[in-house]
Amino acid sequence: MNRVGYTGCDEAMNPVVQHAEVPWGTPRPDHSTSGFPPVLWSGATGGAIDASKFKELADLMLASYDRLNLEEALLYYWLAQVSFVEIKFILYHAALESLARSAPLNGSGVHVPQAVFDREVRPFLDDLEANHLDDPEWIRLLAKLRNDNQYGGARQLTEFLKALGLEIGKIEDEALDRRNYFAHGKSLHYTPADRNADLTLASQTLVNRAVLSLVGYKGQYVDLTTIGLPERNLNEKLGGLNGDGKL
């Protein structure tokens, strides 16, 4: 049987809730655009908001707002909140890329040391270019090869998150890779709607973890991928639906 789901919109046709479930009533998280804070504001049993925790995070974010260019990252984050599932991947990853640009961390970001590449590869490319100066296609190809020592986008984000001390598991890897399907028109074959929806929650939680880590928050984050929305340490990888590291 096919999996089923729905998207609810407001009067302006903006999506406000997305939900997917498998047959026979297996529970899944609602993919709402509101009510999913990055941290648990109240105690584990609910109740009133912990004002001191709220103020702590607000102060940390305000202190880092300009340094991390949070205005840009949070704009992408907000746009993802009001977009359809397929677009959310691109926007959440744009938020991560913005954070990575604003807070470059130690790490080469290259496959081999750049000095080695310049010594052993670049002269070969220079010779090829000298022999094909009149061929624009060769010039375009060589321009791409000169940049091929740099990590690709998904690898750069993975290394950025690892440099923050965040554990990256299979769910994070799949969420980072899924952005490419929608950004570059790759074939999706048959991807259940609920899996894409769950992976958007993984992407959202990755942004949450990155921001919390960058501003210096020492508490726990809310894992949006796991039923019940448990708290986890910032460095702890996503748990998935049942907390076993799988979706």
Shared-domain flag, residues 142 and 58 = no
| pLDDT over 50 at 32, yes or no | no
Q: Mean pLDDT, to the nearest integer, of 227-236?
A: 90
Q: Is residue 140 part of a domain?
A: yes
The pLDDT of residue 64: 92
Shared-domain flag, residues 122 and 91 = no
Q: Is residue 119 part of a domain?
A: yes
The pLDDT of residue 220: 92
User: Mean pLDDT of all residues in the chain?
Assistant: 79
Shared-domain flag, residues 97 and 205 = yes
The pLDDT of residue 23: 46
pTM over 0.85: no
Q: Is residue 39 part of a domain?
A: yes
Shared-domain flag, residues 68 and 11 = yes
Distance CA 115, CA 246 (A): 40
> Domains in the chain: how many in total?
2
Q: Is residue 33 part of a domain?
A: yes
Shared-domain flag, residues 91 and 181 = yes
Domain membership of residue 62 as a residue range = 4-104+153-233
The pLDDT of residue 188: 57
Shared-domain flag, residues 8 and 97 = yes
Shared-domain flag, residues 121 and 189 = no
Residue ranges of alpha helices (H) inside the chain are 51-64, 70-81, 85-102, 114-120, 122-131, 136-146, 153-163, 170-184, 193-215
Checking phi first, is residue 169 left (phi over 0); if not, alpha (psi -120 to 50) or beta?
Answer: beta
- Per the model's pLDDT, the better-predicted residue between 13 and 218 turns out to be 218
Shared-domain flag, residues 52 and 133 = no
Distance CA 1, CA 22 (A): 9
Residues in the chain: 247
Q: Is residue 244 part of a domain?
A: no
The pLDDT of residue 244: 78
Q: Is residue 172 part of a domain?
A: yes
| pLDDT over 70 at 2, yes or no | no
Distance CA 136, CA 180 (A): 28
Q: What six digits make up the tokens of 111?
A: 């496959």
Shared-domain flag, residues 141 and 30 = no
- Per the model's pLDDT, the better-predicted residue between 242 and 58 turns out to be 58
Q: Is residue 214 part of a domain?
A: yes
Q: What six digits make up the tokens of 10?
A: 């407001």
Q: Mean pLDDT, to the nearest integer, of 221-246?
A: 87
Among 198, 237, 90, which Cα is nearest to 154's?
90
| pLDDT over 80 at 150, yes or no | no
Shared-domain flag, residues 172 and 200 = yes
Distance CA 241, CA 244 (A): 8
Distance CA 140, CA 105 (A): 31
pLDDT band at 103 (very low <50, low <70, confident <90, very high): confident
Shared-domain flag, residues 132 and 13 = no
Shared-domain flag, residues 87 and 203 = yes
Give 108-147 pLDDT, tens digit per residue: 677 888 788 889 999 998 999 888 888 889 899 988 888 8
Q: Is residue 247 part of a domain?
A: no
